[in-house]
Amino acid sequence: MISCAAHAELQGQKIYVNGGESPAAMACTTCHSANGMGTESAGFPRLAGLPQGYLIKQLDDFRSGKRVNAVMQPIASALTDSETRAVADYLGSLNIAVPGVDSDPTRSNANAAEKLVKQGDWSRNIPSCVACHGMGTSGVGDSFPPLVGQPGSYIATQLDAWRSGTRKNDPNDLMGHIARSLSDSEIKDLSAYFASLSAEAKQ
Ligand code: HEC
Ligand code: HEC
């Protein structure tokens, strides 16, 4: 006999690889890659090891339109509630070793992006990314997702989405305020910074 939790994870893995009951709930692996780490070139995000609660919230937000995306909206809408829980459970249970960003603020300043990540910029009311996203930007609980391990191109599209208002699912406009305070070249630098960390993690 297998336990309920193990059964849910098996069901979740099946959805990840083959899709849900509805044909519109396409197989996740096609875009998010076999290991769930996303792809840099297409900007598909990492899902493996993200907290279950965060993943469920994002799928709900695509459905409700708080987060607008033409690819994910129909897929999220085609998943049943139990399929959503099962696939999020499976992805959250994957133990992914992604080395965190070195969080020591005394060893920052290598470039503008690293400075923003570790120290922020108080003259513009921008807290450091590690203040919310945790030591090493490895994430904190269900609310603050990891940034390290995400494709750099995906980091940039999300900051742009907050600036243009197609993503407005963050509590109290926490990310909206930050994204609107950043310049185009800072977003480019942050994207390159996270891309180089993800490349290191794959070696
Ligand atoms: C055809 C490609 C494609 C398929 C198939 C696909 N996704 Fe996505 N997914 C995307 C894209 C593109 C984004 C980024 C959307 C954005 O920019 O807001 C995304 C984003 C997400 C996010 C948000 C991640 C984050 O860090 O906030 C979740 C969760 C997600 N997808 C889950 C799934 C699940 C579960 C499946 C399978 C049932 C799936 N996706 C299938 C393309 C796809
Ligand atoms: C005041 C807290 C706070 C700070 C500081 C902060 N973030 Fe966030 N960030 C959040 C929250 C909350 C979310 C999740 C929003 C949601 O529920 O979708 C988030 C999500 C994100 C995402 C989307 C991740 C994903 O998987 O889709 C990116 C990218 C991001 N933050 C980048 C940054 C960067 C870069 C910095 C530093 C310049 C930063 N954040 C600083 C609170 C913060």
Q: Which residue has the tokens 């603020």?
A: 105
Ligand 2 contact, 31 CB (< 6 A): no
Please give the chain's pLDDT, 203 residues, in tens. 567 777 777 899 999 999 999 999 999 999 999 999 999 999 999 999 999 999 999 999 999 999 999 999 999 999 999 999 999 999 999 987 777 667 666 665 568 899 999 999 999 999 999 999 998 899 999 999 999 999 999 999 999 999 999 999 999 999 999 999 999 999 999 999 999 887 666 54
CATH superfamily of the 105-202 domain: Cytochrome c-like domain (1.10.760.10)
The answer to whether residues 92 and 106 touch, using CB atoms and an 8 Å cutoff, is no
Q: What is the distance between the alpha carbons of residues 73 and 83, in angstroms, rounded to a whole number? A: 15
Number of the ligand closest to the Cα of 141: 2
* Nearest 10 degrees: Cα torsion 135, 137, 140, 145: 180
- Alpha-carbon distance of 109 to 20, in angstroms, equals 46
Q: Domain 4-93's class?
A: mainly alpha
Q: How far is the CA of 58 from the centre of ligand 1 (A)?
A: 9
Where exactly does CATH 1.10.760.10 map onto the chain?
Answer: 4-93, 105-202
Q: What is the value of pTM for the model shown?
A: 0.94
* Among the listed residues 144, 149, 133, 134, the one whose alpha carbon sits nearest the alpha carbon of residue 99: 149
